[in-house]
Protein backbone atom coordinates (compact mmCIF):
# COMPACT_ATOMS: atom_id res chain seq x y z
CA UNK A 1 0.00 0.00 0.00
CA UNK A 2 2.86 2.38 0.83
CA UNK A 3 4.43 1.60 -2.56
CA UNK A 4 1.21 2.57 -4.37
CA UNK A 5 1.01 5.85 -2.45
CA UNK A 6 4.61 6.63 -3.41
CA UNK A 7 3.88 5.87 -7.09
CA UNK A 8 0.76 8.03 -6.99
CA UNK A 9 2.73 10.90 -5.43
CA UNK A 10 5.43 10.62 -8.09
CA UNK A 11 2.80 10.59 -10.84
CA UNK A 12 1.10 13.69 -9.48
CA UNK A 13 4.45 15.45 -9.07
CA UNK A 14 5.35 14.63 -12.68
CA UNK A 15 2.05 16.06 -13.92
CA UNK A 16 2.52 19.25 -11.92
CA UNK A 17 5.95 19.89 -13.40
CA UNK A 18 4.73 19.75 -17.00
CA UNK A 19 3.76 23.04 -18.65
CA UNK A 20 -0.02 22.94 -18.65
CA UNK A 21 -0.47 25.51 -21.38
CA UNK A 22 1.52 23.71 -24.04
CA UNK A 23 -0.57 21.35 -26.11
CA UNK A 24 1.62 19.67 -28.67
CA UNK A 25 1.79 16.10 -29.83
CA UNK A 26 4.71 14.31 -31.39
CA UNK A 27 5.18 14.71 -35.10
CA UNK A 28 5.57 17.67 -37.39
CA UNK A 29 1.90 17.74 -38.44
CA UNK A 30 0.47 18.32 -34.97
CA UNK A 31 -1.04 21.54 -33.63
CA UNK A 32 1.07 23.58 -31.19
CA UNK A 33 -0.89 25.87 -28.89
CA UNK A 34 0.49 27.92 -26.02
CA UNK A 35 -1.77 29.84 -23.66
CA UNK A 36 0.03 32.00 -21.14
CA UNK A 37 -1.46 31.90 -17.64
CA UNK A 38 -0.78 33.92 -14.47
CA UNK A 39 0.66 30.93 -12.61
CA UNK A 40 3.62 30.59 -15.02
CA UNK A 41 7.04 31.56 -13.78
CA UNK A 42 10.30 32.19 -15.66
CA UNK A 43 11.23 28.52 -15.54
CA UNK A 44 7.91 27.48 -17.11
CA UNK A 45 8.32 30.08 -19.86
CA UNK A 46 11.81 28.82 -20.71
CA UNK A 47 10.59 25.21 -20.73
CA UNK A 48 7.79 26.14 -23.15
CA UNK A 49 10.28 27.98 -25.36
CA UNK A 50 12.47 24.87 -25.62
CA UNK A 51 9.54 22.52 -26.24
CA UNK A 52 8.08 24.57 -29.08
CA UNK A 53 11.55 24.95 -30.60
CA UNK A 54 11.60 21.17 -31.00
CA UNK A 55 8.39 21.58 -33.05
CA UNK A 56 9.99 24.11 -35.41
CA UNK A 57 8.60 27.18 -33.66
CA UNK A 58 10.91 30.01 -32.57
CA UNK A 59 9.52 31.81 -29.50
CA UNK A 60 11.18 34.94 -28.11
CA UNK A 61 10.10 36.79 -24.99
CA UNK A 62 10.60 40.51 -25.46
CA UNK A 63 9.10 41.61 -22.12
CA UNK A 64 7.87 39.65 -19.10
CA UNK A 65 6.45 41.28 -16.01
CA UNK A 66 5.74 39.35 -12.82
CA UNK A 67 3.75 40.62 -9.84
CA UNK A 68 3.77 38.64 -6.61
CA UNK A 69 5.42 35.75 -8.50
CA UNK A 70 2.66 35.61 -11.13
CA UNK A 71 2.96 36.39 -14.82
CA UNK A 72 1.20 39.72 -15.25
CA UNK A 73 2.28 41.03 -18.68
CA UNK A 74 4.11 39.57 -21.67
CA UNK A 75 5.38 40.68 -25.06
CA UNK A 76 6.56 37.89 -27.34
CA UNK A 77 7.48 37.08 -30.93
CA UNK A 78 6.77 33.80 -32.72
CA UNK A 79 8.15 32.50 -36.00
CA UNK A 80 6.72 29.38 -37.64
CA UNK A 81 6.90 27.98 -41.17
CA UNK A 82 3.34 29.37 -41.63
CA UNK A 83 4.25 32.92 -40.63
CA UNK A 84 5.44 35.12 -37.84
CA UNK A 85 3.90 37.61 -35.47
CA UNK A 86 4.18 39.55 -32.24
CA UNK A 87 1.77 40.18 -29.40
CA UNK A 88 1.81 42.07 -26.14
CA UNK A 89 -0.73 42.18 -23.36
CA UNK A 90 -1.77 41.55 -19.79
CA UNK A 91 -2.25 37.96 -18.67
CA UNK A 92 -5.62 37.34 -17.04
CA UNK A 93 -7.15 34.05 -15.85
CA UNK A 94 -10.29 34.48 -17.96
CA UNK A 95 -8.55 35.39 -21.26
CA UNK A 96 -6.86 32.90 -23.59
CA UNK A 97 -3.72 34.71 -24.73
CA UNK A 98 -0.79 33.16 -26.60
CA UNK A 99 -0.36 31.56 -30.00
CA UNK A 100 -1.47 28.61 -32.09
CA UNK A 101 0.33 26.95 -35.01
CA UNK A 102 -1.44 24.32 -37.13
CA UNK A 103 0.91 22.79 -39.74
CA UNK A 104 -1.67 20.36 -41.11
CA UNK A 105 -2.41 20.73 -44.83
CA UNK A 106 -5.63 22.64 -45.40
CA UNK A 107 -5.73 24.09 -41.87
CA UNK A 108 -8.39 26.79 -41.69
CA UNK A 109 -6.15 28.99 -39.51
CA UNK A 110 -2.52 27.88 -39.80
CA UNK A 111 -1.17 30.56 -37.45
CA UNK A 112 -2.71 32.81 -34.82
CA UNK A 113 -1.06 35.04 -32.23
CA UNK A 114 -2.53 37.18 -29.43
CA UNK A 115 -6.08 36.54 -28.31
CA UNK A 116 -7.13 32.89 -28.73
CA UNK A 117 -10.89 32.95 -28.32
CA UNK A 118 -12.55 29.54 -28.20
CA UNK A 119 -14.47 28.81 -31.36
CA UNK A 120 -13.23 31.95 -33.07
CA UNK A 121 -9.68 31.89 -34.30
CA UNK A 122 -8.25 35.14 -35.56
CA UNK A 123 -4.89 36.03 -37.00
CA UNK A 124 -3.41 39.11 -35.40
CA UNK A 125 -0.86 40.66 -37.74
CA UNK A 126 2.27 42.20 -36.25
CA UNK A 127 1.94 45.91 -35.47
CA UNK A 128 3.08 48.29 -38.18
CA UNK A 129 6.18 50.17 -37.10
CA UNK A 130 5.78 53.94 -37.16
CA UNK A 131 8.70 55.85 -38.59
Best CA proximity match to 87, nearest among 73, 75, 71: 75
Tell me what the mean pLDDT of segment 91-119 comes to.
87
Q: Which of 3-12, 33-42, 70-79 has the lowest mean pLDDT?
A: 3-12
Q: Is 0.85 topped by the overall pTM? A: no
53 CB-contact burial (10 Å; exposed 0-12 / middle 13-18 / buried 19+) = exposed
Cα–Cα distance measured from residue 131 to residue 120, given in angstroms and rounded to the nearest whole number:
33
Cα–Cα distance measured from residue 111 to residue 10, given in angstroms and rounded to the nearest whole number:
36
pLDDT, one tens digit per residue, over 54-93 is: 999 999 999 999 998 889 999 999 999 888 999 999 999 8
Task: List C-alpha distances in Å: 15 to 12, 28, 41.
Answer: 5, 24, 16
Band (pLDDT 50/70/90 cuts) for residue 130 is low
Residue boundaries of the structural domains of the chain: 21-115
Three-state DSSP class for residue 118: coil
Amino acid sequence: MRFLTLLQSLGIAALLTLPTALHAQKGTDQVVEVVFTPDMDKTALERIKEEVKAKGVLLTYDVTDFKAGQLHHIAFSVTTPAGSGKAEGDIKPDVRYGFRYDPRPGAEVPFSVGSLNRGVEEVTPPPVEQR
